[in-house]
Amino acid sequence: MGMGFQQHQHSSVVVPRNFRLLEELERGEKGIGDGTVSYGMDDDGDDIFMRSWTGTIIGPANTVHDGRIYQLKLFCDKDYPDKPPSVRFHSKINMTCVNQQTGVVESKSFSLLGKWKREYTMEDILVELKREMAAPQNKKLSQPPEGSTF
């Protein structure tokens, strides 16, 4: 005889991955805040797991990034949101948390990924990366030519 169905009591409801991603998709489509950060799903009809996303960040004013449009790829594997997505800049950018060979945002130097919590979202990642661009260590770094890609 099997154990049967066991009821697990959780103090907070754990939102299933696909509900969570649908919620994020809806938010992304509405547009976020002042419109300088946006994201959406890649048009890959085969991807029933909603893994591939594209984010856009318009560089903050009063920095070397001012008005530049940066595109990023976010990949939410099947363990998202328990584990962070992998995040990679497609547009070339010189930033302390970005690998200069690959464009990958490195979790050891970007605490939102390094200290990931389940309630963080792709929006949080993009907003925080934009904030990083304006941080003292990044806002004056010389940048690759606009429009170049990793």
The torsion angles phi and psi of 51, rounded to 5 degrees, stand at: -90, -35
Q: What is the pLDDT of residue 108?
A: 96
Q: What is the pLDDT of residue 32?
A: 81
pLDDT (tens digit, 9 = 90+) per residue, 64-92?
999 999 999 999 999 999 999 999 999 99
- Please answer whether residues 70 and 93 qualify as being in contact, where contact means their C-beta atoms are separated by less than 8 angstroms: yes
- How many Å apart are CA 127 and CA 119, to the nearest integer? 15
Residue 143: inside a domain, yes or no?
no
CB-CB neighbours of 32 under 10 Å: 14
Residues of the chain with pLDDT under 50: none
Number of domains, the chain? 1
Q: What is the pLDDT of residue 91?
A: 98
Confidence (pTM): 0.88
Residue 138: inside a domain, yes or no?
no
Q: What is the pLDDT of residue 82?
A: 96
Q: What is the pLDDT of residue 3?
A: 52
3-state SS class at 24: helix
DSSP track, 66-99: TT-EEEEEEE--TTTTTSPPEEEESB----TTB-
Residue 7: inside a domain, yes or no?
no
Q: What is the pLDDT of residue 143?
A: 96
Residue 106: inside a domain, yes or no?
yes
What is the domain range of residue 53? 17-133
